[in-house]
Amino acid sequence: MIVAIDGPSGSGKSSVAREIARRCGLTYLDTGAMYRSVALACLKRGVDPEDADAVADVARGVSISFETADDGSQTVLLDGEDVSAAIRTPEVELAVSPVSANPAVRDVMVSLQRAVGEGGDVIAEGRDIGTVVFPSADVKVFLSASPEARARRRAVQRQGGNLATGDSVAVDEASEQEILADLVRRDTYDSSRETSPLRPAEDAVRIDSSELSFEEVIGAILALSPDLGARAEGDAS
């Protein structure tokens, strides 16, 4: 079975997809980490993220893989090196927008993602999973939340907390506003680019998580498919 979760930055799709993968025995595929890895490879090689041809060459030449530990945590490997933390820096965050808008880069990444899907039993999250990567996915969700709710979650995350698990910490107003501005910038970029803009698939179920708890979002998704619900109950065969 293939589950597609799309949505804007900070909608909670990573935490939700990871938890559903754990409960339902699915392989978790974080496609944003793949675009981030290409952006990091460009920065490491001194390639201008706006230089479309050079960036495409980088995308074709790198090896990106994932390792999942028993506790479900995932390590991202770029040419064999653990880059899980390095792909989350502000520098990569800036470079990843032009990199992910590059059609040649998207071709390479989509092929890699489909290869993972061929093994079956995958939950993939990103921006174009239900529209481009796996248009025949068994379950398609478009997870969104208000920009303010998303900025608050990211701000808490950066301070080491996690609103998904009820682990709240104090955040300062200025950094929350900065995160909000960056989210709005990325939303605009991701939604208005020519190649695979962020938009819900026609047959995706839309869930707004602004007012929902983590468990409520998980429950709403599990309820979309008897197969998924059964797997979560441990009935999967």
Q: Give a three-class secondary structure readout of the chain.
A: CEEEEECCCCCCHHHHHHHHHHHHCCEEEEHHHHHHHHHHHHHHHCCCCCCHHHHHHHHHHCCEEEEECCCCCEEEEECCEECCCHHHCHHHHHHHHHHHCCHHHHHHHHHHHHHHHHCCCEEEEECCHHHHHCCCCCEEEEEECCHHHHHHHHHHHHCCCEHHHCECCCCCHHHHHHHHHHHHHHHHHHHHCCCCCCCCCCCCEEEECCCCCHHHHHHHHHCCCHHHHHHHCCCCC
In this complex, which beta carbon is closest to ligand DC, that of residue 150 or of residue 231? 150
In this complex, which beta carbon is closest to ligand DC, that of residue 31 or of residue 144? 31
**Residue 111: which residues within 8 A CB-CB, separation 6 or more?**
none
**Residue 174: which residues within 8 A CB-CB, separation 6 or more?**
none
Shortest separation between residue 94's beta carbon and ligand DC, angstroms: 10
User: How far apart are the C-alpha atoms of 91 and 83, rounded to whole Å?
Assistant: 14
Shortest separation between residue 15's beta carbon and ligand DC, angstroms: 12
Encoding tokens for residue 39? 């952006």
Shortest separation between residue 171's beta carbon and ligand DC, angstroms: 19
Shortest separation between residue 95's beta carbon and ligand DC, angstroms: 10
Shortest separation between residue 204's beta carbon and ligand DC, angstroms: 14
Per CB under 6 A, residues contacting ligand DC are 9, 31-32, 35-36, 96-97, 100, 126-128, 186, 190
Count of CB atoms situated within 10 Å of the CB of 86: 17
Shortest separation between residue 172's beta carbon and ligand DC, angstroms: 22
Shortest separation between residue 202's beta carbon and ligand DC, angstroms: 18
